[in-house]
Amino acid sequence: MKLFPLLTFLFLLFLSNTFAAIIVVEGKYQNENLYIQNGYAGNGVGFCTYEVTVNGKTSTDELNSSAFEIDFSAFSIKPGTPVIVEIRHKDDCSPKVLNPEVLKPKATFEVINIDIDKNGILSWSTKKEIGSLPYIIEQYRWNKWIVIGEINGKGSMDKNSYSFQTTSHSGENKFRVKQIGYGGVLKSSTNVVFISAKIQPTYTIAKNRKYIDFSSETNYEVFDIYGNVIKRGFGNKIDIDNLERGNYYLCYDNIMTDFKKK
């Protein structure tokens, strides 16, 4: 191999090693730009980042500074659009993405309508979902909101429709849906109320003290005196044979009471 081609090869190899590093940030555009802390290259010549692409298109933002902004509006990207940002930089330094959370899913939905029919089917429609997050369905029972189900959100800015079969208790039933976005920030719908014609069940403790029998199937929870849940389920019978003697709290249907295991 002649000297000139060899030197050319070594120079290109040096360049490939120098400009080999890449940072990839993915998510969905949510009307906020990314900010990058850039800094100088490790050898002190020039800045660290040399190219930024958004969904494969090269950014025209000014990169030759200690910090710069990736402006998504320059790419005519609509809110909710998936984006892949590639930050190419020299391998002897590393830029820092200051706010990667702006591409993470947030609970942004707006409820168009929420309702529940006589059969207990909860239906709701939404708009302005930026990013797919699960909808958590909750029922208010025993003085607290209880999770009863989950449905994946569609993540569309347009109209989205959902439904979920609930199990009601006697009397007034209250339901809502919510999403938990990045950082634990949650958003809830308004409450919807359904009046059930079910007869309120009653319970008895078997003479052998091994079971609690309900007059009809119901959701239930059993707590110890410290507030720990030790039994939870749905049915017309609870096995309490393995419980130690003492006082317990019983929640069923929409009732909160207590009992003593002898």
User: Which tens digits make up the pLDDT trace of 227-256?
Assistant: 999 999 999 999 999 999 999 999 999 999
Domain match, 91 and 115 both: no
Give the Cα-Cα-Cα angle 151, 153, 154 (nearest 5 degrees): 135
Domain match, 221 and 175 both: no
Report d(CA 150, CA 188) in Å as an integer.
14
From 49, 76, 103, give the residue that closes a domain. Answer: 103
Domain match, 181 and 212 both: no
Contacts of residue 228, defined as CB under 8 A and 6 or more positions apart, other chains included, come to: none
Domain match, 137 and 99 both: no
Domain match, 58 and 88 both: yes
DSSP the chain: --HHHHHHHHHHHHHHHHT-EEEEEEEE--S--EEEE--B-TTSSSBSEEEEEETTEEP-S--SSSEEEE-GGGGTPPTT-EEEEEEEE-TT---EES-GGGGS-----EEEEEEE-TT-EEEEEEE---S--EEEEEEEETTEEEEEEEEE----SS-EEEEEE----SEEEEEEEEEE-GGG-EEE---EEEEE-PPPP-EEE-TTSSEEEEEEEEEEEEE-TTS-EEEEEEEEEEE-TTSPSEEEEEEETTEEEEEEE-
pTM (predicted TM-score): 0.77
Strands 121-127 and 160-165: antiparallel
Q: Residue 172 maps to which CATH number?
A: 2.60.40.10
**What is the overall mean pLDDT for the chain?**
89
Contacts of residue 207, defined as CB under 8 A and 6 or more positions apart, other chains included, come to: none
- Residue 198, pLDDT score: 92
Residue 11 has pLDDT above 60, yes or no: no
Domain match, 135 and 168 both: yes
Domain match, 118 and 178 both: yes
Sign, CA dihedral 243-245-251-255, equals positive
Domain match, 227 and 165 both: no
From 196, 222, 245, give the residue that closes a domain. Answer: 196
Q: Residue 241 maps to which CATH number?
A: 2.60.40.3080
Least confident of 72-76, 85-89, 110-114: 72-76
- Residue 20, pLDDT score: 64
Domain match, 207 and 173 both: no
Domain match, 190 and 208 both: no
Domain hosting 256: range is: 203-261
What is the tally of structural domains in the chain?
Answer: 3
Average pLDDT over every residue of 196-209: 91
Residue 181 has pLDDT above 50, yes or no: yes
From 196, 216, 242, give the residue that closes a domain. Answer: 196
Residue 9 has pLDDT above 50, yes or no: no
